[in-house]
Amino acid sequence: MIRVERLSVVYGAVRALTDVSFGAPAGRITAVLGANGAGKTTLLRTISGLVKPTSGAIFCDETSLLGLATENIARLGIGHVPEGRGVIAEFTVEENLRLGILASRANVSEGLARQFALFPVLGERRKQYASTLSGGERQMLAMARALIAKPSVLLLDEPSLGLAPQVTAEMMRTISELCASENLTVVLVEQNAKSALRIAHDAVVLHLGTVIASGSASEVADNSDLRRYYLGLVTP
């Protein structure tokens, strides 16, 4: 599980996050919602150590992540699929996946077989350069590359970005199944609140770097003010 306590991040004169607190328990999907510039990506980047917070605390189970280098945070079993997916275009599908497993002690061929079973299209394209994949396939590759190291926590930054609605729905279903079967802690950052709330157990709503609402996904989804003013969802 991930626990964030009173986290603040300042970029120069801009306060990106102010006193953000929330918990993401294991085996559940916690959606982090909010408009552009709400601080969602900064939150994930701070958990992964790419951004240094000015104050606050971050824990993975009982281990404090503060001050740890990004690579060491990853080695603790925290997988991060960045915005834009971060697939290495110059690498083949298989090379991308191998890179994901190197830092862990997991068996390479076993890991590849597992991911190819989960995402058969990646198996078909294992020798192809990642640059030749479609948006949906790239997203699958990015997910598979994070999953191959058998993480306990998965941080997903806008996985639905640029994907067709049908592909998004499929992606969300996969995330939901993985969370249950692997007892993963999933922190799902999304602008697409509708599809995120459909699979999330809990939700946190960020606005200009502060938490304005949190609770179960259904509570957030049922709050008409939140829906209208912060999530861009039209109340039925």
Partner 1 sequence: MSTLLTSRIMTDVFGGITSGAVIALVALCLVIVWKSTNVLNFAQGAMGMFATFVGMNLVFHDTNYWLCLVLSVATGLVVGGLTERVLIRPLYGKPEINPIVVMVGFLGLLEALVPAIWASSFNTVPSPFSQVYFQSHGNTVLLSPFVLYQIALALGVMLVVALLFQYTTLGLKMRAAALAPEVSRLLGVRVNRLLTLGWMLSSGIGALAGVIVSTGHTLDATNLDGIFVSAFIAAAVGGLESPLGAVIGGLLIGLAQQFILNYWSANLAPLAGVIVLLISLAIKPQGIFTRTVTRRV
70 binds partner 1 (CB under 8 A): yes
Please identify which residue in 54, 63, 131, 181 interacts with partner 1, judged by CB under 8 A.
131
95 binds partner 1 (CB under 8 A): yes
**94 within 8 A of 123, measured Cβ to Cβ:** no
Q: Give the whole-angstrom CA distance, residue 152 versus residue 183.
A: 8
**Is 150 or 201 the residue whose CB approaches partner 1 more closely?**
150
The 150-189 site mask, x for binding partner 1 (CB under 8 A), equals ----------------------------------------
Q: Give the whole-angstrom CA distance, residue 225 versus residue 236.
A: 12
- Which one of the spans 2-10, 59-67, 89-97, 197-205 is the region binding partner 1 (CB under 8 A)? 89-97
Q: Give the whole-angstrom CA distance, residue 153 versus residue 77.
A: 6
**Which residues are bridge partners to 156 per DSSP?**
81, 188
Please identify which residue in 28, 40, 138, 145 interacts with partner 1, judged by CB under 8 A.
145
Q: What is the CA radius of gyration of the chain?
A: 17
53 binds partner 1 (CB under 8 A): no
Find all residues with CB under 8 Å of 17, minimum gap 6, and list them.
Answer: 7, 8, 9, 39, 42, 43, 46, 53, 209, 210
Binding site for partner 1 (CB under 8 A): 48, 50, 69-72, 74-75, 80, 82, 86, 88-91, 95, 98-100, 102-104, 128-129, 131-132, 134, 145-146, 149
